[in-house]
Amino acid sequence: MGGSAPGARPVKPDELLAFADSMAREAGALLLDHFAGPSREVTAKSTPTDLVSAADVAAERLIRERLAETRPHDAVMGEEGEDFEPEEPSGLRWVVDPLDGTTNFLFGIPQWAVSVAVQDSAGRTVAGVVHDPSRGEMWAATREGDATLDGVAVRGSRSADLATALVATGFGYEAQVRDAQAAVIARLIGQVRDIRRLGSAALDLAWTAAGRYDAYFERGVQPWDVAAGQLICERAGLSVSQLAPSSQVPGGLLVASPALLGPLESFL
């Protein structure tokens, strides 16, 4: 595996995972301080419903500082800052969502997370974590290891029955995209046990990895939303399918037990 600056020793996935864990926990503690505070500075990004808070920016700044101090030859992609490309690249890139579920965070809903992943020069995720500070849960995986929750291995749903499946999803920020997504939900909701939309793609993926959901799909997700969570789902034994874009909706991601993947794809 690539991933070392010139002259440095190769780095092991478990070491990268431990570093991701420490950064996510530190960012999570910072966010909890903001979450408990009396006010939150907010601005809009792509649309009036796509929000960013001062807490997002502060958490990403903290993670970037830790990376600059410890791994200055690694590239960085983050939701709230510009991509960083080092002059002497190591071959590794960190993909960071400092606060996934910003709207929940701003409205005092404890369903948000910190997602930190590291990828090799081919864009494959080597290690990743999804940290839920509100519950104190840490989801993690390396490319060759088990998916874990707080160090204990987890497995995804093995359900083969669409009628009893609990399915999670998310919606885009643009009104016309939401209209198209609503039509899909209308077709699907009568075919499954129920549908959940809680607001954090990273946590939706982590929860699917542990069988809290039978499946998850969402369109319009960004690399920082899913880089860690997708790996955790794969290492939990779930199947992952890329959803192609159409004239009405962007591409996306479907994660499910192997037996449910095909039936769900026919609706999506």
Q: pLDDT (tens digit, 9 = 90+) per residue, 77-106?
A: 997 778 999 999 999 999 999 999 998 998
Q: Is the confidence at residue 15, as pLDDT, over 70?
A: yes
pLDDT of residue 40: 55
Q: Find the mean pLDDT for residues 236-263.
A: 95
Q: Find the mean pLDDT for residues 121-133.
A: 97
> CA-to-CA distance for 210 and 191, rounded, in angstroms?
23
pLDDT of residue 82: 87
Reported as a single tens digit per residue, the pLDDT across 24-70 is 999 999 999 888 654 455 555 544 444 457 888 899 999 999 999 99
pLDDT of residue 231: 98
pLDDT of residue 9: 56
* Alpha helix ranges (H) inside the chain: 13-35, 54-70, 102-106, 175-188, 201-209, 223-235, 258-267
Q: pTM of the predicted model, to two decimals?
A: 0.91
For the chain, the straight-line distance linking the first and the last C-alpha, in angstroms and rounded, comes to: 36
DSSP codes joined into one string, 92-155: -EEEEEEEE-HHHHHTT-S--EEEEEEE-TTS-EEEEEEEETTTTEEEEEESSS--EETTEE--
DSSP structure class, residue 4: -
Are the C-beta atoms of residues 145 and 13 closer than 8 Å to each other?
yes
Q: What is the largest CA-CA distance in the chain?
A: 59
- Domains, the chain, ranges and CATH? 13-153 (3.30.540.10), 162-267 (3.40.190.80)
Reported as a single tens digit per residue, the pLDDT across 182-230 is 999 999 999 999 999 999 999 999 999 999 999 999 999 999 999 999 9
pLDDT of residue 48: 44
pLDDT of residue 42: 55
pLDDT of residue 85: 96
Residue burial 56-86, b: 16+ Cβ < 10 Å; e: rest: bbbbbbbbbebbeeebebbbbbbbbbeebeb
pLDDT of residue 38: 44
Are the C-beta atoms of residues 153 and 28 closer than 8 Å to each other?
no
pLDDT of residue 10: 72
Q: Which of 131, 152, 105, 101 is nearest to 228 (CA)?
A: 131
